[in-house]
Copies of this chain bind each other. A is one copy, B any other.
């Protein structure tokens, strides 16, 4: 893979240089949702964004077990049939990668180079996690639960299974699921087959795929993906705050038709219905504004299809001939609004800067 003109990235420092071969390799395996798919309430499975840290593991469901242990009175194992026999819930959940927007930062943190497409909404079916934890009887000494996936690799110089934790209080919320279906079908391998954690409202790194073990522990988990990755840092020595819930964001279906290579948009003059979706993990979306050349106006908002799913918005734009810059921004019930100016952090986390779409009308 080292042939050709593509330079390799030789460190982990953010760069103002061009894309590296390593970033291209990640972009070739991971996948965003083409923005025209914002038209669907529920994203077709093959269009949902996907970020796989290591490799998609090969798992024989009949041999797979979920181990529940650590600081619990009654450790046990569950088969997939055991999990499916528990009462099930189905939730429409919008999920976004915490690194969405990273490649729009300058300097650009070196990792999966997302622009704005790391998003999707699916119908997830599973057993509430707390029903499983009830069987185990968590010790009063437990403060967190550690979730271990079967995906394994090296990151930050550490060989590891992918692991993340939740506080006991977060884990016991009724809509945290052990999910075995996506869009009414068994999970496809890349989405965590046979079982994944599903934590509505949080960025996707929390919803551990290929889940193999849940362990109750008496202190905050300090694994790589918790203590080192997914932090709001200003520099590598900054311990930073943990990245958790999805920041408020709106995206639009780029109107008109594209140029294949530049993705420049061409729009007919006259009334144009611009539509998109907006979501927040920190509250409900209360307002979406549509922007043209720096001016803003309120868009029409439809009801959310569920408490954890995006809301459809639309704006009847009268397209005037010429070159225009379109944008959209959402405000949620906590009063948070998307920034127009570029925020920055060392890992390129949670960049919810407004989307810009340049169009030619005429």
A residues contacting B by CB (< 8 A) are: 1-9, 12, 15-20, 22-29, 31-32, 34-37, 39-40, 44-48, 50, 52-56, 58, 103-108, 110-111, 113-115, 117, 152-155, 159, 188-191, 254, 257-264, 266, 342, 356-358
The closest CB in chain B to the CB of A3 belongs to B104
Across-interface contacts of A357 in B (CB, < 8 A): 1
Cβ–Cβ < 8 Å partners of A257 in chain B: 54-55, 152-154, 159
Complex Cα spacing A110 to B19, Å: 14
Question: Per a CB cutoff under 8 Å, which of B111, B262, B342 touches A3?
Answer: B342
Decide: A111 and B261 in contact? CB cutoff 8 A. yes
Report the Cα distance A337→B287, complex, angstroms.
Answer: 59
Oligomer copy total: 2
A37 close to B53 (CB less than 8 A): no
Contact A22 B152 (CB under 8 A): no
Q: Chain B residues with Cβ under 8 A from A191's Cβ?
A: 46
Residues of B within 8 A of A19 (CB): 6, 18-20, 23-24
Q: Which residues of B contact A258 (CB under 8 A)?
A: 54-55, 153-154
Considering the chains assembled together, what is the distance between the CA atoms of A31 and B356 in angstroms? Answer: 23
User: Are the CB atoms of A7 and B18 closer together than 8 Å?
Assistant: yes
What is the chain B residue whose CB lies nearest that of A115? Answer: B28
Distance between Cα atoms of A3 and B116 in the complex (Å): 13
Task: Choose from B56, B58, B254 the contact partner of A34 (Cβ within 8 Å).
Answer: B56
